[in-house]
């Protein structure tokens, strides 16, 4: 047990920052400014391994913060260990198995936002195009949608099929090539001035 504590203290010295959670405000708001200042100094002394000593009140308020800091440190150590193991695996691996599956973004949470990767409905597709280019020809946008659907949600660039991974970005790049709605005389740039009797 003593080795584990010593190892934790050693790891803490190599770490330059720590997480202080925003919900701590509920505790801090119940303290006087002097008590809050003592608590903050106590936290900084603790994370810098200075073995802080304080009055009993500060120690009691600090205890749940201390437990959170320890859990965060253990999580940090786990990430460091995993990253180290993945680096070793990459170093030892042959060219065919160079990168382990869990190495990429090892310390990041997986992003489940697949809005741009799934095929949208025709209405969503046209609505997005109209937001980007309000005077775009809707029929041309619909035709582009159906051509991508026919091609298994792919574009054809220089004779090669390319899967669409981000439809919004691909559509943005395509809109400049699609025709715009013809401007009617009444909707033209001078329509406002005509209505005002200025032309």
pLDDT in tens, the chain (199 residues): 344 444 444 435 567 888 888 888 998 999 999 999 999 999 988 888 888 888 999 999 999 999 988 888 888 888 888 888 888 877 776 555 555 555 555 555 444 444 556 888 888 888 998 898 888 898 888 888 888 888 888 887 777 888 888 999 999 999 988 898 875 655 555 565 566 666 5
Among candidates 81, 66, 74, 55, which has minimal Cα distance to 27?
66
Residues 6 or more apart whose CB falls under 8 angstroms from that of 61 comprise 27, 31, 35, 39
* Maximum Cα–Cα distance across the chain: 90
- What single-letter DSSP state applies at residue 103? T
Q: Per the structure block, which two tokens stand in for 104?
A: 């990429």
Torsion sign over Cα 55, 18, 68, 87: negative
Instruction: Specify whether the CB–CB gap between 42 and 66 falls below 8 A.
Output: no
Query: pTM here?
Result: 0.41
H-assigned helices in the chain: 2-14, 25-28, 33-47, 56-92, 122-132, 138-150, 167-175, 191-195
**Which positions ≥6 away from 71 have C-beta within 8 Å?**
none
Q: What is the pLDDT of residue 97?
A: 55
Cβ–Cβ under 8 Å, residues 28 and 39: yes
């Amino acid at each position: 047990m003593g080795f584990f504590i010593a190892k934790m203290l050693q790891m803490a010295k190599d770490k330059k920052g720590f997480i202080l959670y925003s919900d701590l405000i509920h505790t801090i708001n119940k303290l006087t400014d002097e008590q809050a200042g003592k608590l903050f100094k106590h936290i900084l002394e603790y994370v810098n391994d200075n073995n802080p000593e304080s009055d009993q009140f500060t120690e009691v308020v600090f205890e749940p913060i201390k437990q959170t800091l320890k859990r965060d440190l253990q999580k940090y150590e786990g990430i460091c260990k995993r990253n180290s193991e993945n680096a070793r695996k990459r170093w030892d691996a042959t060219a065919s198995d160079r990168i382990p599956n869990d190495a990429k973004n090892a310390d990041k949470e997986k992003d489940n936002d697949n809005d741009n990767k799934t095929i949208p409905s025709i209405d969503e597709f046209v609505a997005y195009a109209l937001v980007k280019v309000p005077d775009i020809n809707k029929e041309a946008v619909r035709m582009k949608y159906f051509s991508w659907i026919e091609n298994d949600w792919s574009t054809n660039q220089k004779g090669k099929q390319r899967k669409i991974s981000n439809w919004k970005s691909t559509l943005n790049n395509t809109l400049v090539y699609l025709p715009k709605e013809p401007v009617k005389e009444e909707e033209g740039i001078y329509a406002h001035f005509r209505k005002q009797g200025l032309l």
